[in-house]
A and B are shown apart, each in its own frame.
Chain A
């Protein structure tokens, strides 16, 4: 028998409504967030009209090939035969750093490939090519 109007009457079950609310919100949050948590795809080859490269907070190394054939790491000039030891020393100090290759369009493809091979042999896992976005005329 229920004693009407008695506030002290025991409630035998937990009030689950807020619990369900919270759980539903959590569920939705995870459903939305789950696809975003997958790793970004490494860009390893240039694409002409590519999307911009994803940048993490680690500063990458830029290796620049100027039209005259000079090679730079960031803004530090290196000879071609010094590139590999220097780059592997840098990667030992900052393991996993991305390396981006910026080659002048006048540079021969063979030269670019040779430099790329040097970079790869220095132990670079993440090599990206930097391109200008295609100009639409």
Chain B
């Protein structure tokens, strides 16, 4: 007679379970990885010093200015983190420039992954910069470039360094940066009247562009970033104007034919525009020429509440997102221009507005009103679950994407008065872009300026 196999198995299973339960090894640590957010783990970069060929103190100061600007710009992208110069195990001034002269092991000890070295020859009328980017772990050069800037060194330094930053971005992320772009916004300034201002991508050089002495709002960039269209009460009622994006340029009337003419936008071709016009008490979106001639009505009257505003076109121009009250509350809709099909995109909350297309045209950011506050959401342009980017920080409105789609600019009143803020496309690294007198609203990011 032999024991029943079942009994053996049962005892064995019990033994195994026993051993597992009382084994000293316990997986207590839970590791969470979010691989989708490239801003979570910032790449440490060492930027020691540029060798300056030039002796005067002003030239030395320019070298330091170049380092500071490059560090600030790289930090701004959200991809990089600057290694504290205090942690350098090499004298910055004695750092080698070429691959052979660099002690990669010393830089690796400081924890840096990328190293930027370079030299600048500064003369009275030009800067010539040679710059190198090194991968410290693989101990090899990623690029070496020479940039020339003709003109007064103090003014050519910034474009030169931004060009270097762009080269680093292309090498790192495969995409061009946004260092040649601007941000337009409405600001009350010191007068208390909203006018259009612009600043560079990093909040530098804030400049008042319009001087209408009347409420001026909802700026929109032309696709070549040379002109801004906006709504202004310059002539008692809201009308649409275009102006060259520089201070003192003359405003040109686009249209005043509706009782209200608001929220202008450009088509990607740069020749046609769209705006929300109220004609005979019916507010709808019309396709216009730059001279204001109506080419087509884009949204039909759908119900008696059918107010349609804020058109924005996808980068390829095949779809138009807009806000409509046709179902009772303002919601975001997308119209496929070829098939004329309109679909509703947002279903959460009672107020969703300010849609804006990501540069690739696959996502839409918007401001949604929930729990008594406006917050920024991003959702797939095909529809789906929105992702909330801001929370518990006052009202956050009017998002706009950077030209590479990695950042969003928006307005927020988290510190009392409304101001311009920046965050990356995953909602982290939120920070104020600049501080100006008055209230700033409705920021829009321009495409990169072509020179």
Chain A residues in contact with chain B, CB under 8 A? 13, 16, 19-20, 23-24, 26-27, 30-31, 33-35, 37-38, 59, 61, 73-76, 85-86, 89-90, 92-94
Contact = CB atoms under 8 A, between A and B. Distances in A.
A92 B83 CA distance: 9
Given A38-B24, A75-B106, A93-B111, A26 B90 contact: no
B15 interface: yes
Interface of B: 5-6, 8-9, 12-13, 15-16, 19-20, 23-25, 44, 83-84, 86-87, 89-90, 106, 108-112
A75 B20 CA distance: 48
Contacts of B109: 59, 61, 74, 90
Contacts of B20: 30
B106 A76 contact: yes
A61 B291 CA distance: 69
A89 B87 contact: yes
A90 B8 CA distance: 59
A76 B87 CA distance: 11
Contacts of B108: 59
Contacts of B13: 23
Contacts of A13: 6
Contacts of B6: 13
A75 B19 CA distance: 50
A27 B19 contact: yes
A123 to B, nearest CB: 13
B18 to A, nearest CB: 10
A41 B15 CA distance: 31
B19 A31 contact: yes
Contacts of A27: 15-16, 19
A20 B20 CA distance: 15
B12 A93 contact: no
29 contacts: A13-B6, A16-B9, A19-B9, A20-B8, A23-B12, A23-B13, A24-B12, A27-B16, A27-B19, A30-B19, A30-B20, A33-B25, A34-B23, A34-B25, A37-B25, A38-B24, A59-B109, A61-B109, A74-B106, A74-B109, A76-B89, A85-B86, A89-B86, A90-B89, A90-B110, A90-B111, A92-B84, A93-B83, A93-B84
A16 B5 contact: yes
B87 A92 contact: yes
Contact of B16 (A23, A89, A93): A23
A37 B16 CA distance: 19
Contacts, number: 62
B17 to A, nearest CB: 10
B89 A74 contact: yes
A-B pairs with the 6 shortest C-beta distances?
A93-B111, A89-B86, A89-B87, A76-B89, A94-B111, A90-B87
Interface of B is mostly: helix
Given A34-B23, A89-B84, A93-B83, A73 B44 contact: no
Nearest to B85: A89
A136 B87 CA distance: 41
A94 B109 CA distance: 9
Contact of A20 (B9, B23, B89, B112): B9
B6 to A, nearest CB: 8
A93 B109 CA distance: 10
B107 to A, nearest CB: 11
Q: Which of B6, B83, B112 gathers the greatest number of chain A CB atoms within 10 Å?
A: B83
A19 B6 CA distance: 12
Contacts of A20: 8-9, 12
A34 B24 CA distance: 7
Given A74-B106, A89-B87, A26 B25 contact: no
Given A33-B25, A37-B24, A85-B86, 9 more contacts: A19-B9, A23-B13, A34-B24, A38-B24, A74-B106, A86-B87, A89-B84, A90-B111, A93-B110
B5 A93 contact: no
Contacts of B9: 16, 19-20
Contacts of A26: 16
Contacts of B15: 27
Contacts of A59: 108-109
A95 to B, nearest CB: 9
A16 B15 CA distance: 16
Contacts of B12: 20, 23-24
Contacts of A34: 23-25
Nearest to B24: A34
Contacts of A38: 24
Q: Which of A24, A30, A33, A93 gathers the greatest number of chain B CB atoms within 10 Å?
A: A93
Nearest to B8: A20
A20 B110 CA distance: 52
A61 B83 CA distance: 17
Contacts of A86: 86-87
A72 to B, nearest CB: 10
